[in-house]
Structure 1
Amino acid sequence: MSSPSSSPSSTPTLPPSQPARGRSRLIRVGWLAGLPVLALIAAAAYLGTTRVTERLERQAAEIAAATAEGQPEPWLRVSIKGRDLTAAGEAPEATQREAVIGRLAGIQGLRCLDDRTGVIEEASPFVWSVERPAADRVEANGSRPAEVGAFELAQRLKPALPRDTTLSDRARAARGAPRDFPDAAAFAVERLQDLTTGAVATLNDTVISIRGEAASLAAYDALRTALANPPQGYTLGTVEILPPVVGDFRFSVARRPDGSLELNGHVASEGAREEIRAAAAEAAEGAAVDDRMHEARGLPQGVDGPELARFVFRLAGLLHEGRVVFEGATVSVEGNALDSGAVGEAEALMREGRPAGIAAGRVALTARPIVPYVLRIRRGADSVTVSGHLPDQATREALLARLNPRFFRESIQDRTRLAAGAPAGLAAALAAAVDPLSTLASGELTVTGTDLRLTGTSLYPESAARLRRALPQALPSGWSTTVSVSAGEPMTTAAESGPCGQRLAARTAGHPLRFAPGSTALAPEFYPVLDAVAALARACPGERIEVVGHLDPAGAKPETRSDPVTEEAAKETAPKPAKADPKTAKEREGKGRKDKTETRDAAKSEPKTEPKPEKTEAETAEAGADLARARALAVVDYLQKAGVPLERAAAPTGVTPLSDRQGIGLSLRS
């Protein structure tokens, strides 16, 4: 008999895993059945929250809109996130602020109220600033006018904002804004268009300050133009704008045939521009300087800007026409050199004189014949500069020997070069023109071939007229001359309109006439002053000029003249004032011959071999008085030749001589 478990008719049993699978299927069915319920619960919660948020927004907006009463716009600004509310703005009064905050706090369903409101106050100084922290954002801080309103101000500023930027207004309303504040704010915001990120513009009452870096060369130029015209009623304060950085920093100096210079390329700052222009003016020696430089940064590392400029101008000084260029940390020079020697000087300078960090570029110079032959003598405030060419060293030394005694107060700067090709008569022409130049307050003597040009300013109209007459007559044959000398301004209006004595004092003030020790010869610097005195005497017919001579300094020895060329030039260029009456001139001539004869006779009577006995104090005083009177008579003689009637110019006798410090005394007597 078989066992029951092995009976074919017994019920089969399930595997052990089948009950677990059944339970899992039941659970999934249960979840699926519960999902609709959960969705209904979530939807109900969302709809409930949305309705609460909408109600909060609606009620808060009504409260905010109500704050516009008596204001340019609602002062309350609210923002809601879920059931949380943030309030911002400045209330006109504290009571209004408290009332509004109370109404907001009472809104049903509100969970949290963040109060960021304040009360409008007086701001002094009234400061508002705008900053560009990022390329797409502009932020306003400080105080904005309460009477304008945030929205209205934003609308006024929108057209001035940099492209593709938004305005974030973090300023607080305040009273005390200056007039036309929105216009000034728009002006400040508009400047940010030309500046990189990090730029800041500030209004401090009526003062506008700007700090930043220019975005480009064109932007930098646009900023300079715009800042020259701030809004009416406003002024510029601190303006710190850095030039843009360029990758191809370059600098060049071009010399034109007329001696003028053209500056191109980049300059690191306005201060550097002024230094370069000063160096250019000196190198141009009176010719024009055309400044076409743009301010920029980017000078190669290790290159000293001032040293570079000095090096470039040294090379440019060797050019008659050409260009010196710094580009890519390399300096090159090309053009027509001053002379054959200048070519070698430029090559040596390029080899041995380059500043650190600068490479030597091309030296392409040619030396052409010097046509026309040019020499310039320019008189400035405290120096006389001689430049151009001279034929030889002897001519150079003779010219300097002529200049030194005539410009003893100024320093003589010799920048001449020696070269062949000088026109015939150059030395004689210079001898004739140096004295007239020394009588000018400022001026320039230019020799171009056989053409001589004298320009400048004279102290007096009479002196200017005399130069125009005398200089052409003194030049060598075959030379032409142009005299363009203008008269200086009158001494003072008050003196010119006063009595003749005051006018005389005004015209001679600051111009003492002092003779050289032992001399009675008029110095060239006397002529402008005496011309003016003669003109004044003619304008004051009721007055008489009295001249008193001066003594020599104690222990002074008579000066000797060892330069015969200078003496001959002095004779050729001596002033030729208007002729006086022939009879009067003849009488003076006779008197002069008599005085000279007496002087020679006295000289002959002195023992020649025996030592001269020492003079007593009385004899010394008498000799000094005689010298002082002779000087006075020399001045009187000049005035009479200049047109002053004989009876209206005199050197009175018995008058105590003046000291050397006082110089010649001039006075009017009725």
Structure 2
Amino acid sequence: MSAPSLPPSSPPHGAPSRSRLVRAGWLAGLPILLLIAVAAFSLGLSRVSARLERQASAIAAGTGEGQPEPWLRVSVTGRDLTASGEAPEASQREAAVGRLAAIEGVRRLTDRTGVIEEVSPFVWSVERPAADRVETNGSRPAEVGAFELAQRLKPALPRDTTLSDHARAARGAPRDFPDAAAFAVERLQDLTTGAVATLNDTVLSIRGEAASLAAYDALRTALATPPQGYTLGTVEITPPVVADFRFGVTRRPDGSLELNGHVASEGAREEIRAAAAQAAEGAAIDDRLRDARGLPQGVDGPALARFVFKLAALLHEGRVSSDGAVVSVEGNALDQAAVTEAEGLMREARPAGVSAGRVALTARPIVPYVLRIRRGADSVTVSGHLPDQAGREALLARLNPRFFRESIQDRTRLAAGAPTGLTAALAAAVDPLSTLASGELTITGTHLRLTGTSLYPESAARLGRTLPQALPAGWSATVTIASDDKPAVTAESGACGQRLAERTAGHPLRFAPGSTALAPEFYPVLDAVAALARACPGERIEVVGHLDPAGAKPEAQADPVADEAAKETTPKPSKVSAKPESKKDAKSKAAKAEPKEAAKEASKSESKPEKTEAERAEAGADLARARALAVVDYLQKAGVPLERAAAPTGIAPLSDRQGIGFSLRS
């Protein structure tokens, strides 16, 4: 059996406790000692920093003598100094930096000072890198001072933003620079972050994105009147993004167009206006588009605009609208065929990404019936309605030889409802239109309107008298022709003859066998001869016709419109005369019957025996004179006074090889 264990012996009472207390006391006091040391150091450092700041500020303040404000700026971080600013002269800069370096207790001096220089061009820019900050860079006027300029700019700053000035003082600023700078800063209020405005001498450029539609309009209004003495340079302002991007075209009853909705850029606006001008066909265009972005992704803007105008061209009155990527059309179509065309376009010809919306079209009777022929610089456009395909072909057959130098663009549509006498009215009016330098012929119901510019005042006056008289019964006309009445340069008699020879040489005018109709290639020569007549008021132009080649057979000369007009206007024979015929009426009928009788005689002559040589010579002379008279008639229509263009009698006709002859007589 083992002996019982005894407890370990204990150390003397009180020794271990004192040791632990001593160690704990040292540990507890160490942080306190550290805090005291740190406090003493910080207190000493702050006192040193305060002293350095006082001394540095005194040195900086001393640099303001003779300046708008002290040019030296000093920041103190502990015992480190950073100097910035631009001294008027290098010696002043060196002196100020030397005094800063000599301050007792300075550990490090960072020198960022410079010397004011003359700069050209003088460039200053202001940028909005964040919503709450505006920064300036480049050069600012040394004669104004940084603080003063900041005070001038402060009222123009966007709301809740601070100004950070990183510009350097320089000489060479343009006049009234602070006003122009404030104008540039104020424009940033209407722009989003990232916007930049730059003054390059007296040229202001600005780039950025408008914050809203109202801001975009405000910018355009403000930039229209830049500060006095300053001009606009590059202006690249992106329209704002809108959630409800729309585009629409409204056709008014008078044919004019109203453009509304949004357009993504000025380039797009120009393209849309060009398409609108073509669709309006001379009518007014009311542009109410607002610049904005937001067209749905995947939709081609130009293709969408072209599609909208295609639909608008089918409207007499109504609206085509694009709401996002959905296109709708409603209103009164040109005719029933236009309704079908619009439905087909909406079904099969929509651009990629575009959906079909509402189609609500009606086709009312065409009242009034409208046809328009517009002569431009290099084209003739025919639009409106014609009764049938035969009428269309007849009109084009009449237009082509008279406007051989212009392209004929046929945009007519076929529809019933044409007024009685339409073809006869066209036959009377197309020729006058062809004599104008530019013009437009509009038929509305039974009223004809001819407007334009004539090269000759005599021609303008003549059309005003003769066209209304040539229209069928029941029709009325308004003729408004301005003349390009430039003072003619009078030439000497000898010079007139030489110029006439120059203008007709190498361009012989030869009529088709048996014909007295002017060929299209005659017009440039005859226009030149008419212009010469105005420059030679003391001369008379005499015209001599030409014969046909021996054995030539007459060529058929058809005028479909005139033939159709003759059918319309030829009265039906009456069985009973309403009243006795007066002598005056008899003479009138006889005069009207002369062409028919001549035609009958010509028909009879075909069955007669062959003419003798003398008879053939006489017939040839008559044909040659008729040709000369046709040329004289054209010259008179072109403005040559009646007494100054003639086809004299008793002069032998020229040969076919010679063609029409021209000569001057004093």
Aligned partners of 1:129 and 1:142 also within 8 Å: yes
- How far apart are the structure 2 equivalents of 1:225 and 1:300? 29
Q: Secondary structure at the match of 1:476?
A: coil
Note if 1:328 corresponds to 2:324: yes
Aligned partners of 1:548 and 1:655 also within 8 Å: no
- How far apart are the structure 1 equivalents of 2:278 and 2:179? 45
| Structure 1 residue aligned with 2:540 | 545
Q: Which of residues 119, 140, 143 in structure 1 aligns to 2:139? A: 143
Q: 1:414 to 1:644 in 2, by over 3 A?
A: closer
- How far apart are the structure 2 equivalents of 1:205 and 1:328? 44
Residue 544 of structure 1: how far off its partner (Å):
2.9
Q: After superposition, what is the alpha-carbon deviation per residue over 1:427-481, rounded to whole angstroms, capped at 9, x for unaligned?
A: 1111111111111111111111111111112222222111111111111111121
Q: Which amino acid aligns with 1:280?
A: A
| Structure 2 residue aligned with 1:427 | 423
Residue 255 of structure 1: how far off its partner (Å):
0.8
| Structure 2 residue aligned with 1:175 | 171
- How many residue pairs were aligned? 615
Note if 1:132 corresponds to 2:128: yes
- How far apart are the structure 1 equivalents of 2:643 and 2:311? 61
- How far apart are the structure 1 equivalents of 2:139 and 2:156? 19
Q: After superposition, what is the alpha-carbon deviation per residue over 1:258-293, rounded to whole angstroms, capped at 9, x for unaligned?
A: 111111111121111111111111111111111111
- How far apart are the structure 2 equivalents of 1:657 and 1:157? 88
| Structure 2 residue aligned with 1:398 | 394
Q: Which amino acid aligns with 1:86?
A: T
Aligned partners of 2:621 and 2:652 also within 8 Å: no
Note if 1:260 corresponds to 2:256: yes
| Structure 1 residue aligned with 2:94 | 98
Aligned partners of 1:548 and 1:628 also within 8 Å: no
TM-score, length basis structure 2: 0.80
Note if 1:477 corresponds to 2:473: yes
Q: Secondary structure at the match of 1:122?
A: coil
| Structure 1 residue aligned with 2:582 | none
Aligned partners of 2:510 and 2:659 also within 8 Å: no
Q: Which amino acid aligns with 1:287?
A: A
- How far apart are the structure 2 equivalents of 1:459 and 1:359? 51
Q: 1:444 to 1:500 in 2, by over 3 A?
A: farther
- How far apart are the structure 2 equivalents of 1:647 and 1:267? 58
Note if 1:270 corresponds to 2:273: no
Aligned partners of 1:139 and 1:168 also within 8 Å: yes
Aligned partners of 2:389 and 2:414 also within 8 Å: yes
Aligned partners of 1:547 and 1:635 also within 8 Å: no
Residue 355 of structure 1: how far off its partner (Å):
1.1
| Structure 2 residue aligned with 1:192 | 188
| Structure 2 residue aligned with 1:411 | 407
- How far apart are the structure 2 equivalents of 1:67 and 1:662? 98
| Structure 1 residue aligned with 2:280 | 284
Q: Which amino acid aligns with 2:277?
A: A
Residue 176 of structure 1: how far off its partner (Å):
1.7
Q: After superposition, what is the alpha-carbon deviation per residue over 1:467-500, rounded to whole angstroms, capped at 9, x for unaligned?
A: 1111111111111211122222x44x6x55x567
Q: 1:626 to 1:232 in 2, by over 3 A?
A: farther
Aligned partners of 1:433 and 1:471 also within 8 Å: yes
Q: Secondary structure at the match of 1:420?
A: coil
Q: Which runs of 5+ in 2 are unaligned?
A: 1-5, 570-593
Note if 1:378 corresponds to 2:366: no
Q: After superposition, what is the alpha-carbon deviation per residue over 1:501-528, rounded to whole angstroms, capped at 9, x for unaligned?
A: 79989x9999989856346556896998
Q: Which amino acid aligns with 2:428?
A: A
Residue 231 of structure 1: how far off its partner (Å):
2.2
Aligned partners of 2:63 and 2:70 also within 8 Å: yes
Q: Which runs of 5+ in 1 are unaligned?
A: 1-5, 7-11, 574-592, 613-618
- How far apart are the structure 1 equivalents of 2:500 and 2:333? 48
Q: Secondary structure at the match of 2:424?
A: helix
Q: 1:665 to 1:208 in 2, by over 3 A?
A: farther
| Structure 1 residue aligned with 2:511 | 517
| Structure 2 residue aligned with 1:65 | 61
Q: Secondary structure at the match of 2:63?
A: helix
Q: 1:24 to 1:635 in 2, by over 3 A?
A: same
| Structure 2 residue aligned with 1:107 | 103
Q: Secondary structure at the match of 1:293?
A: strand
- How far apart are the structure 2 equivalents of 1:31 and 1:387? 106
Q: Which amino acid aligns with 1:309?
A: A
Q: Which amino acid aligns with 2:391?
A: T
Q: 1:263 to 1:559 in 2, by over 3 A?
A: farther
Note if 1:456 corresponds to 2:448: no
Q: 1:315 to 1:54 in 2, by over 3 A?
A: same
Aligned partners of 1:122 and 1:176 also within 8 Å: yes
Instruction: Give the % identical residues.
Output: 70
| Structure 2 residue aligned with 1:77 | 73
Q: Which amino acid aligns with 1:517?
A: F
Alignment root-mean-square deviation, CA: 4.5
After superposing the two structures, state which structure 1 stretch, 509-518 or 64-73, moved more.
509-518
Q: 1:624 to 1:79 in 2, by over 3 A?
A: farther
Aligned partners of 2:157 and 2:186 also within 8 Å: yes
Residue 665 of structure 1: how far off its partner (Å):
5.4
Q: After superposition, what is the alpha-carbon deviation per residue over 1:137-181, rounded to whole angstroms, capped at 9, x for unaligned?
A: 111111112122111221222222222111111111112222222
- How far apart are the structure 2 equivalents of 1:471 and 1:300? 55
Q: 1:40 to 1:482 in 2, by over 3 A?
A: same
In the TM superposition, 1:191-590 aligns within 5 A as 191-488=187-484, 490-491=485-486, 495-496=488-489, 515=509, 517-518=511-512, 543-547=538-542, 560-563=556-559, 565-566=561-562
Q: Secondary structure at the match of 1:109?
A: coil
- How far apart are the structure 2 equivalents of 1:194 and 1:478? 63
Q: 1:638 to 1:201 in 2, by over 3 A?
A: closer
After superposing the two structures, state which structure 1 stretch, 547-556 or 353-362, moved more.
547-556
Q: Which amino acid aligns with 1:282?
A: Q
Aligned partners of 1:447 and 1:453 also within 8 Å: yes
Q: Secondary structure at the match of 1:201?
A: strand
Q: Which amino acid aligns with 1:214?
A: A
Q: Secondary structure at the match of 1:303?
A: coil
- How far apart are the structure 2 equivalents of 1:552 and 1:182? 86
Q: Which amino acid aligns with 1:300?
A: P
Q: After superposition, what is the alpha-carbon deviation per residue over 1:34-92, rounded to whole angstroms, capped at 9, x for unaligned?
A: 88776665554444333322222222112111112222211111111222111101111
Note if 1:121 corresponds to 2:140: no
Q: Secondary structure at the match of 1:121?
A: coil
- How far apart are the structure 2 equivalents of 1:661 and 1:337? 57
Q: Which amino acid aligns with 2:539?
A: R
Residue 664 of structure 1: how far off its partner (Å):
7.2
| Structure 2 residue aligned with 1:582 | none
TM-score, length basis structure 1: 0.79
- How far apart are the structure 1 equivalents of 2:50 and 2:245? 62
Q: Which amino acid aligns with 1:265?
A: G
- How far apart are the structure 1 equivalents of 2:501 and 2:212? 55
Q: 1:661 to 1:236 in 2, by over 3 A?
A: farther
Q: After superposition, what is the alpha-carbon deviation per residue over 1:563-615, rounded to whole angstroms, capped at 9, x for unaligned?
A: 26437979x99xxxxxxxxxxxxxxxxxxx9xxx9xx99xx99x9779x9xxx
- How far apart are the structure 1 equivalents of 2:230 and 2:656? 59
Q: Which amino acid aligns with 1:476?
A: P
Aligned partners of 1:209 and 1:237 also within 8 Å: yes
- How far apart are the structure 2 equivalents of 1:214 and 1:660? 74
Q: 1:480 to 1:630 in 2, by over 3 A?
A: closer
Q: 1:401 to 1:522 in 2, by over 3 A?
A: closer
| Structure 2 residue aligned with 1:165 | 161
